[in-house]
Amino acid sequence: MTDVGEACHAPPCLALDIGATKVETALVERDGTTRARFRISDTDQHDDLISAIIELSRRVMSEGPVAVVGVGVGVGCAGPMSRRGEEVSPLNIPQWRAFPLWRTLNEVLGLDVFVDGDARALALAEGALVARRGRP
């Protein structure tokens, strides 16, 4: 098991938030520090949202190394979705019905991907950061 000291020196992960009006991605250090952050409007990407997300992700990844072991990419996305985000059908993205988000990102980015509901992903990330800082 990795201790907190080692985890803080691990490469950052790519955080991806697929929301109702925007897609935001950031390179996030294990202590919560953001090294790079970019945003696009998902309403401007009607025809090929996944290509825009991949391009945005690669842009952020060019800012520094990303963890290749464990969670390299953490994704928060609106639902409904199947287990692990294998298929997502966000109500606000009509062109994504049973869209294979997890597999697509895993294959294209070549990193371990974790997909969860956007609200749950936020809560998990916040809980992990608070635990690392030793606060109740």
Residue-level pLDDT at 70: 67
Coil, strand, or helix at residue 28?
strand
CATH topology of domain 4-130: Nucleotidyltransferase; domain 5 (3.30.420)
Q: What is the DSSP letter of 11?
A: P
Q: Are 90 and 78 in contact (CB under 8 A)?
A: yes
* Alpha carbon distance 48, 60 (integer Å): 19
* Alpha carbon distance 50, 42 (integer Å): 10
Residue-level pLDDT at 135: 57
pLDDT tens track for 21-63: 899 999 988 788 888 899 998 777 767 899 999 999 999 999 8
Number of Cβ atoms within 10 Å of the Cβ of 74: 19
Residue 105's Cα: distance from chain center in Å?
Answer: 10
* Alpha carbon distance 67, 10 (integer Å): 7
* Alpha carbon distance 99, 88 (integer Å): 5
Number of Cβ atoms within 10 Å of the Cβ of 46: 10
* Alpha carbon distance 135, 79 (integer Å): 31
- Is residue 132 over pLDDT 60? yes
